[in-house]
Amino acid sequence: MQLHRLEIEGFGPFRGRQSIDFDAFADDGIFLIAGRTGAGKSSILDAVCFGLYGGVPRYEKGGEKRLRSDHCEPDDVTEVVVEFSTVGGRYRVTRSPEYLRPAKRGGGLTKQAAAVSLEELTEGGWVGRAARAVDVANELNEILQLTQEQFLQVILLAQNRFADFLLADSRERQALLRRLFGTDRFADYQTRFDERRREAEQALGGSRAMVDARLDEAERIVGDADLWGDDAEAVADTTDARVERLRRAIARADYRVEQLGTERAAAEKALATADAALALLKEQRQAQTERDRARSALAALDAQADQIADATTRRDRARAADALRALIVAATRASVDRAAAAQAEEAAVASAAGLVRADPTSPGATPDRMRAAAYRDLASERTRESGAWQQAAELEAGAARRGAQLTAARTAVDAASAALAALDAEHEALPAQIRELTSEHDLARRGADRLDGAAQSVALAERQLAGALDVERLGAAVVAAAAAESAASDAHTRAQAELAHLRRRRLDGYAGELASALVDGEPCAVCGATAHPAPAAHADPVSADDIEAAEIARDAVAAAERAASRALAERTAELAAARERSGGLGADDARARLAVAVAARDAAEADVARSRELSARLDDLHRGLADLEQRRAQASDALASSRTELSLAEQRIADADAAIARARGDHDTVADRLAEAHEQIAIATAAAEAIEAHADAAGRDHAAGAELTEALEASVFADATEAQHAMISATELSALDERITAYAVDVKKERALLLDLEMRMLPEEPIDLAPAEQRAQQARDAWQGAVDADSRARSVQKSLSATVDSAAHAHAASAEQAAEFEVLRGLADALAGRSGNTHKMNLETFVLAAELEEIVSAANLRLHDMSDGRYQLRHSDALAARGAASGLGIVVFDAFTGQTRPAKSLSGGETFLSSLALALGLAEVVTARAGGIRLDTLFIDEGFGSLDADTLETAMRTLDELRQGGRTVGVISHVEAMQEQIPAQLRVRTVPDGHSVIDAPRRAV
């Protein structure tokens, strides 16, 4: 993989768009990213990692991921573009984080969603490959073949990150290697085998417990059934012996079942014989009882023969009389109705005397139907005349109501005229009021239109005042921060000089240390001579602890210098921002401007309130005018309607008076004439109806009498009275019929039964059943005892056989389970590093240890040259403390002493060189595991400040070797010596307003 171009905008300390062309450093092979502490050098590497993976190294362990630059304005864009190439082609990733931007509608801020796209360079130009985050991630995984963790270990070595791997303990190193090499599957293998071992162990324990429980149950059954026999005193201490002992008991149970089965069959045969004899005697005894009962029943039925004959005669006469019942009742009712109709006719005709011209009751009068028609003609004539008189009577009754309607109509005309006049007067006053309020509203609205401008002026004045106050406050803070930064820089310079002085004294004192160990006659460790004529003196010695203490002091003041520089940069940026917010005004001028702006805003707000009030009043007046015009139109319509109603009332009164005069005739009132007509109609109608009803009743009486006479002649009765005496109720008739039928059925049934029983020739004396019942009960008791004994024996035999067979089968299966469990336990213990594994090295640790051996071997190829052959890293599988897993240790072999020591005992510079060598070795192994991909770009961030001049020179030689073969190495450092030795440089600097910019690539002179 090779980086070609990086573009950054609105990211970290970079506000404006910054562009870096890495191809410009291809000829040099190594370039320096330089700048003051806090300028944003490491943010370049953050941008590369964010563009490729969407994450930032410095935010991996938590904290707020503030990727968007704090210097951005709301409308500024945040974006990172990374252009790179692999053996598969050239690609470009464009990525933006999630941030807030101004809303396009409604004001305020809205969330801008994260975005990413991936493009590939083809012959026709850049072509998009993916535009969704998940799709881009999948594509990049295929293209890069490196995870983010691997990328940070082999390409982008962030500040002090590569030292973590050297100084980590076994547990931390295991976690890192697991992520780099993806060995989680080996831990999964171990977990799965442990689970299978536990499951097999639980299953084996359950099987064995089940076997013991079943054998215990079988022995209990044998004991309860007394089947032990000669084995009662035998002791079985193994499962197989217990099974064999129980099988002998099963044989005894089989014999017992066979013996009891024979006894049960004999008892069943004896019981069947006794039951058959008893059943025969019971049947004969029952037949004797039925014979005697039938004889008694027939005698009783013969005694009732006369009564049944009388009942039959009475039933037959009642049925004949019941056939004449309806005719007798009809004839009687018709005679009664004829007499009543004659009386009603006589009374009605008497009441109607004088209404017709000829008296219908005098001699020589017309027949009944003609007399009724004369009365009906009179009623019809009076009905036709009273129809016209009825309407006039209603008009006569409503005279008072019509007078009241006339008065109400006149009053309504007067009221409508007065209401219309009042509305006309009110309508004339409203237009003048509307014109006056409209003028006032326009004046207030012009003042209200100035509110937005006044509010913006207030906000601007408030920002300027706050900025002016911040300028006064931050001026002193910048002076103090500058002084602190200068003091920290001086302290760093002094500490660096002191460390260099101690190192020179340390080198000068090595000869004295060697001389102090010389003994006459023993060979020198350097030259081998046994004579030592002039050993060097050991003056002003400096120990390794002195060097380490000086390095610690130097690192502390360096950190203090960086902190002071950051503080100065932050205060300076804050002061510049405050000056920009103040607009160049002092605090007093800003306060005065704010007061003027507030007064203008308050006046505009008052105009707004006045405008709203006047607008509401105008709306009320306009609504009132519209309502008044609507009410005026309604009043005019009401007046016209009232006048029309008055005319109609006067006309109705005149028409009613004329109709009443015509209908009254000679009577005092129309109602009197109408009452007289209604009375005549009722009398005539009643007379006609009475005559017609009498004629109908006479006809019905004659017909009913003739029909009854004909029926009596055909019956057994002489007259209707005799038939009425023979009648009985339906219930009594039904009871007689049922009694006669039941008597006939009983006689027939009893005679047939008695005949059958007499043919069997049974003895007259009752048969004694007691002896046979006693013999049958004795046989049943014997059979029940045999059945119970046989059932118990068979149950014991079946239960015992099933339990023993189940236990034997389970015992055989548990043996197979035990063998399988031993195999699984051995495999699980081997994978987990238990049992005979004294180093407690599990499978995953074993695989990682092999990888670590290769990493250490690759690292030593560079560390040998960087340390002039003194140091060598060695993989250690020494037993870890407190039961931790072993196999992932790293120790340092010192050729000067011939001993190994912990990596943490190295000095700062030695640690840097060893860590760099280990990181490069790790990169080689990781890339080989990732498919042998080629890494043409490498970044190393800081760490060179802890090196002395000689060690720095060694590190530079190593970096110079890395660029061989076309690789480009980017180094981030603020060390001046490196700036002198690396001519190709990329400088990051902070501008006065606080944000950072990247200068174009240049070469140091």
Confidence of residue 121 (pLDDT cuts 50, 70, 90): very high
pLDDT for the residue 536: 61
d(CA 6, CA 47): 8
Widest Cα–Cα separation across the chain: 203
**Of residues 960 and 525, more confidently modeled:** 960
Q: Which residue has the tokens 């013999």?
A: 775
Buried b (16+ CB within 10 A) or exposed e, 145-161: bbbbbbbbbbbbbbbeb
As a whole number, mean pLDDT of residues 869-890 equals 71
d(CA 915, CA 167): 9
Identity of the amino acid at 55: G
As a whole number, mean pLDDT of residues 382-407 equals 78
pLDDT for the residue 837: 62
CA 712 from centre of chain: 97
What tokens were used for 533?
């004529």
Q: Which residues pair with 984 in a beta bridge?
A: 1003
Helical (H) or strand (E) element with 1001: none
d(CA 10, CA 33): 20
What are the pLDDT digits (tens) for 905-934? 887 777 777 877 777 777 777 777 665 556
Burial of 385: CB neighbours in 10 Å, binned 0-12, 13-18, 19+: middle
Strand arrangement, sheet containing 125-130? 18-21, 2-9, 79-86, 89-96, 115-122, 125-130
SS3 1005: coil
What are the pLDDT digits (tens) for 29-51? 888 888 888 888 888 888 998 99
Reading phi first (left if > 0) and then psi (alpha if -120 to 50, else beta), residue 115 is in beta
- Whether residue 118 is predicted with pLDDT greater than 90 in this model: the reply is yes
What are the E-state strand segments in 823-952? 871-876, 889-894, 899-902, 937-941
What are the pLDDT digits (tens) for 754-813? 788 778 787 788 888 888 888 888 888 888 888 888 888 888 888 878 888 887 787 777
What are the pLDDT digits (tens) for 414-432? 888 888 788 777 777 777 7
**727 DSSP assignment:** -
Cα-based angle 1001, 1004, 1005 (whole degrees, multiple of 5):
140
Burial of 421: CB neighbours in 10 Å, binned 0-12, 13-18, 19+: exposed
DSSP per residue, 68-119: B-TT--TT---EEEEEEEETTEEEEEEEE--EEEE-SSSSSEEEEPPEEEEE
- Whether residue 157 is predicted with pLDDT greater than 90 in this model: the reply is no
Instruction: List Cα–Cα distances, 306 to 303, 571, 727, in angstroms.
Output: 8, 145, 22
d(CA 2, CA 25): 12
d(CA 415, CA 381): 52
As a whole number, mean pLDDT of residues 939-953 equals 71
SS3 759: coil
135 contact partners, CB below 8 Å, separation of at least 6? 118
What value does the CA radius of gyration of the chain take, rounded to a whole number of Å? 66
What tokens were used for 388?
């016209």
Poorest-pLDDT segment among 357-361, 402-406, 549-553, 859-863? 357-361
Q: What is the dihedral of CA 32, 36, 37, 41, to 10 degrees?
A: -40
Upper half-sphere CA count for residue 999 (Cβ side, 13 Å): 16
- Whether residue 79 is predicted with pLDDT greater than 80 in this model: the reply is yes
- Whether residue 1005 is predicted with pLDDT greater than 60 in this model: the reply is no
pLDDT for the residue 360: 47
Contact 859, 835 (CB under 8 A): no
d(CA 319, CA 311): 12
Q: Which residue has the tokens 């008791």?
A: 781
Identity of the amino acid at 154: V
Identity of the amino acid at 246: L
- Whether residue 455 is predicted with pLDDT greater than 70 in this model: the reply is yes
> Mean of the per-residue pLDDT values for the chain?
79
- Whether residue 965 is predicted with pLDDT greater than 80 in this model: the reply is no
Q: Which residue has the tokens 């890192």?
A: 176
Contact 119, 128 (CB under 8 A): yes
Identity of the amino acid at 494: R
665 phi and psi angles, rounded to 5 deg: 60, -130
SS3 875: strand
DSSP per residue, 541-605: ---HHHHHHHHHHHHHHHHHHHHHHHHHHHHHHHHHHHHHHHTT--HHHHHHHHHHHHHHHHHHH
How many CB atoms sit inside 10 A of residue 36's CB? 18
d(CA 475, CA 572): 9
Upper half-sphere CA count for residue 279 (Cβ side, 13 Å): 6
Identity of the amino acid at 321: A
214 contact partners, CB below 8 Å, separation of at least 6? 803, 804, 806, 807, 810
SS3 6: strand
Q: Nearest to residue 917, comparing CAs of 965, 976, 874?
A: 874
Q: Which residues pair with 91 in a beta bridge?
A: 84, 120
Confidence of residue 629 (pLDDT cuts 50, 70, 90): confident
Burial of 185: CB neighbours in 10 Å, binned 0-12, 13-18, 19+: exposed
pLDDT for the residue 943: 62
**Of residues 369 and 513, more confidently modeled:** 369
pLDDT above 90 covers a percentage of the chain that reads 5
Helical (H) or strand (E) element with 289: helix 239-303
Q: Nearest to residue 812, comparing CAs of 209, 200, 208?
A: 208
Q: Return the axis-axis angle of helices 184-225 and 843-866, rounded to nearest 10°.
A: 160
Helical (H) or strand (E) element with 156: strand 156-157
- Whether residue 15 is predicted with pLDDT greater than 70 in this model: the reply is yes
What tokens were used for 880?
């870890």
How many CB atoms sit inside 10 A of residue 97's CB? 21
Helical (H) or strand (E) element with 835: none
d(CA 188, CA 168): 24
pLDDT for the residue 646: 81
367 phi and psi angles, rounded to 5 deg: -60, 170
Instruction: List Cα–Cα distances, 856 to 392, 850, 924, in angstroms.
Output: 135, 10, 11
Confidence of residue 364 (pLDDT cuts 50, 70, 90): very low
Q: Nearest to residue 939, comparing CAs of 922, 957, 959, 921?
A: 959
What are the pLDDT digits (tens) for 226-272? 778 777 666 667 777 888 887 887 888 888 888 888 888 888 888 88
